[in-house]
Amino acid sequence: MIASHLIAYLFTELNHDQVQRIDKYLYHMRLSDETLQEVSLRFRREMEKGLGAETNPTASVKMLPTFVRSTPDGTEEGDFLALDLGGTNFRVLRVKVSDNGSQKVEMENQIYAIPEDLMRGSGVQLFDHIAECLANFLDKLRIKDKKLPLGFTFSFPCQQTKLDESILVTWTKGFKSSGVEGKDVVSLIRKAIRKRGDFDIDIVAVVNDTVGTMMTCGYDDHNCEVGLIVGTGTNACYMEEMRHIDLVEGDEGRMCINMEWGAFGDDGVLNDIRTEFDRDIDMGSLNPGKQLFEKMISGMYMGELVRLVMVKMAKEELLFGGRLTSASGCSLNIREKEGLQKAHEILTKLGLDPSHEDCIATHRICQIVSTRSANLCAATLAAILRRIKENKGVDRLRSTVGVDGSVYKKHPHFARRLHKTVRRLLPDCDIRFVRSEDGSGKGAAMVTAVAYRLAAQHKARQKTLDPLNLSYEQLLEVKKRMRIEMEQGLGKETHDSATVKMLPTYVCSTPDGTEKGDFLALDLGGTNFRVLLVRVRNGMRRGVEMHNKIYTIPQEIMQGTGEELFDHIVHCISDFLEYMGMKGVSLPLGFTFSFPCHQNSLDQGILLKWTKGFNASGCEGEDVVGLLKDAIHRREEFDLDVVAVVNDTVGTMMTCGYEDPYCEVGLIVGTGSNACYMEEMKNVELVEGDEGRMCINMEWGAFGDSGCLDDFRTEFDVAVDELSLNAGKQRFEKMISGMYLGEIVRNILIDFTKRGLLFRGRISERLKTRGIFETKFLSQIESDCLALLQVRSILQHLGLESTCDDSIIVKEVCTVVARRAAQLCGAGMAAVVDKIRENRKLNFLKVTVGVDGTLYKLHPHFSSIMHETVKQLSPKCEVTFLQSEDGSGKGAALITAVACRIREAGQR
């Protein structure tokens, strides 16, 4: 047959009439953009089939996982070996990769022949020969004593189950070694090396030549995520999102897919664009019905396509005056590029007597065949790039395709036509094409180098993150220490020195369902505060109805005098009563005051210290209920019965207690963290009386301030604490609450980046800014439905150019930090519920915890991890967690309602 080289070397000055005649004759080979878009769409469907677990067995495009999970990032370094086996000769390479400021690759290689008798002999003999050649190469370089990592390019159809295991499906390219098909070729090499015993190597990866091409180009261009070969045969590979690969477990990160796209059309989806010449080539091939796409575009078949067209046209007397010779079917390799004169020589050697018009026509046939090849290749490549664009969720894709193969490299127009068509089919993408130099061997070494880099970096990161991964025994120890601190806070003699203060709240009962009446509630804990009317009904119409208005507190009032602050609060209460049409009505009021207070009774709260930006003078050390009452009397418009002052944790418990009578614990895990629970009065030594129970506001955020958690705190906890506004205080809170988790993550990311384990060692200025990594990012990053797209978006917002690997690492850091927070919180809660059980001398306790806070509510995994930890650490307790809705204000009203119920019962 006429070799494909002929297509490349014919002259371009064509006779117009002759061109029209050929174009009409080969009309079906000329594909419009509309047809190419349709081919692209069909290929996309075939990709989906190949990726699906159920559809893969019948898919023609097999989409084989390669277990190559990352492309080079430029920081790879080391000394590697590579084996490149794909024909009668094979190569052994030594590849040195260095990253001392500038990327550098040095290669030495040796080509070894494989005798024909070994290609068709036993597999044992073949792999013994390969091992012998390896030994010879190592001897020559005097490195036989080194155990170097090796990457193996094995360009035969294989099924991979992991990076260093590849099962040969079938021999091709003239090989027929027995006992190899169905076996792992890596095991066979290892066995041959062990049998020799004179050297050892670490076989890390086995890849095919397409993957090698992508990895070689990826070292020089980090946007390279597609490999393409168009030579004697053709194939492509690309980096696919793990979540779309049903054939492999796991849904994070990416993996290179070896498409085996030459089989596209084997199921008939290209029948409408295949011509009679394509069908003739297929029927005469060694594998009829197989690799139909490859037979339309690759170098092995293009020359034969041209020959078949010429034969038919000659038979129809459209070429060579209708004369055919026996030489018309011979093969001829053409190496020069001369024009019509050379064409005349080629055709004459074939025994033809070509006219000038025959030479022009032959050139045009070559041009149409090669253009169709380039266009079909572009259509399928466009499908891959479109998929990558959708996977990334970007408006405009910037990507690079690494290319190898004799047709792409040697044909004078193929590459240009391919590029032009891809760009026409994908106007919203910026695609760069990079030619691979020495793709296969260097690529195998690069896969190995990347695998080594990833393993080393993973080991270094795990060493840093290990202290954040708490064992069951460690969590039990945290629970035990929390219990000790609780006892100290409750004790009269130890209370002053205790860090967990265990403050009495004088709330001595939870709702029992008989509460009723109208109550006012104030909820003050930030720059906005709420006034609420809460109507509590019992009996058949049992329930809570609420009305509220939000008011702002201007900065100047927050920083002014106490009189101004409480006058403003009373003015807002007056406005609310007027708004509700209740001016002049005197109602019981509950006051949620979320600042540190010391209580001596339910309706008294001594402000210890302003926080959250408040600094009103004349308030610290004073009873806030008294300050509120004074302001009400100054206004002389209405009177209110301030029954209770509570913090938000107690309010949460009371709100949930109204819904669930088993609720005796309150927990908040939001910006800050705290807990409260119903303690036996006999254990509350700061308050007189032994009968009944009282709610204890634990102020557990200060757990660890005594140093009892120092062995659990990491360097990152210490850094966050030292730069906080209250260094040395609230250490437990700084390990578990929303205000600090993002900052812990940021410190870890900076550490990783400085050590070259993340973002290629480049820190953005924004990442250096304290507080820039918000805790809400942890919730967003760990949302399963968003995969890694959300991570990339957040990192871009922080000025960080991240790879898919970077996103996985950031997600892992967020997961570890949030998991530890949830486990520590669970350990603290386990101490609380076990204390309640032991207080009551029960073998088994059923209790409900009312919970509020953004971290608990919004983080996708925090609550479930915390629940599981409590279950593990307190197996004798059945703990239900009830999420509070509108805890603070409603809770204050319910505390007031309970106090009024008890007061009325006492008056009877």
**What are the catalytic residues?**
530, 594, 648
Helix-helix angle 356-392:33-51, to 10 degrees: 50
| 622: CB partners within 8 A, 6+ apart | 562, 606, 607
Cα separation of 528 and 522, whole Å? 11
Cα separation of 238 and 255, whole Å? 8
**Among 813, 812, 807, which Cα is nearest to 70's?**
807
Tokens 């300050």 sit on residue: 627
H-assigned helices in 13-159: 16-25, 33-51, 116-119, 123-141
Cα separation of 591 and 587, whole Å? 13
The tokens for 108 are: 């030495």
Say if CB 297 and CB 235 are below 8 A apart.
Answer: no
Say if CB 246 and CB 59 are below 8 A apart.
Answer: no
Say if CB 306 and CB 281 are below 8 A apart.
Answer: no
Q: Which neighbouring-strand residues pair with 546?
A: 534
**Among 602, 658, 672, which Cα is nearest to 850's?**
658
| 521: CB partners within 8 A, 6+ apart | 530, 531, 532, 534, 589, 590, 591, 592, 889, 890, 892, 893, 896
Q: Which neighbouring-strand residues pair with 523?
A: 530, 592
284 CB neighbour count, 10 Å cutoff: 11
Cα separation of 502 and 522, whole Å? 24
Which amino acid would we find at residue 475? L
The tokens for 797 are: 């917002």
H-assigned helices in 332-438: 340-349, 356-392, 406-410, 414-425
820 CB neighbour count, 10 Å cutoff: 24
Which amino acid would we find at residue 305? L
CA trace torsion 777, 781, 786, 789 (10° rounding)? 90
Cα separation of 755 and 749, whole Å? 10
Q: Which neighbouring-strand residues pair with 257?
A: 65, 238
Please state whether beta strands 78-85 and 89-99 pair in parallel, antiparallel, or not at all (unpaired).
antiparallel
Cα separation of 867 and 871, whole Å? 6
Say if CB 413 and CB 370 are below 8 A apart.
Answer: yes
| 771: CB partners within 8 A, 6+ apart | 742, 743
| 32: CB partners within 8 A, 6+ apart | none
Cα separation of 628 and 570, whole Å? 8
**Among 845, 506, 835, which Cα is nearest to 696's?**
506
Say if CB 162 and CB 451 are below 8 A apart.
Answer: no
Question: Which strands sit side by side in the sheet containing 528-537, from one edge to the other?
Answer: 543-552, 528-537, 517-524, 588-593, 641-646
- The gap between the terminal CA atoms of the chain, to the nearest Å, is 113
Say if CB 821 and CB 813 are below 8 A apart.
Answer: no
437 CB neighbour count, 10 Å cutoff: 11
Please state whether beta strands 693-697 and 641-646 pair in parallel, antiparallel, or not at all (unpaired).
unpaired
